[in-house]
Amino acid sequence: MQNFQNPRTTALLAVLPHVDFKYQKEIAIAVKMMEMRDVLKYYENVKEQKQNINWRQDILKALTPHMSEKNKQTMETFMQVMQMQEIMGGLPK
């Protein structure tokens, strides 16, 4: 995941709690706008990301830590089934 904070936005966020309350909202909005500008620049410059052939497993692995223990066990079983299907050639990548 790309981090869109830079030294300037990090510095602004660091001083935010120490600035008069009446200015905090405007500074916070400015920081978010700067981050949004950086996001837009990033995606304009990226032509195409390399295709990740394991994207399904990567998504499931990213979700697993946020699940209950019961759901984690179910997900592990599901991932094992997916791996078996890939080995057998039954699941397109």
Q: Express each pLDDT in 27-64 by its tens digit.
A: 999 999 999 999 888 888 776 666 777 787 888 888 88
So what's the pLDDT on residue 22? 93
What average pLDDT does range 80-88 have in this prediction? 82
So what's the pLDDT on residue 92? 56
pLDDT digits (tens, 9 = 90+) for 65-79: 999 999 989 988 988
pTM for the whole structure = 0.53
So what's the pLDDT on residue 24? 95
Residue with tokens 């390399």: 50
Element (H, E) at 13: helix 7-15
**Per-residue CA distances from 7 to 12, 56, 75, 93 (Å):** 9, 34, 39, 39
Instruction: Return mean pLDDT, the chain.
Output: 85
Whether 82 and 56 have beta carbons less than 8 Å apart is answered as yes
Measured CA to CA, the distance from residue 23 to residue 39 in angstroms comes to 25
Q: Which distant-in-sequence residues (6+ apart) come within 8 Å of 63 by Cβ?
A: 75
So what's the pLDDT on residue 1? 60
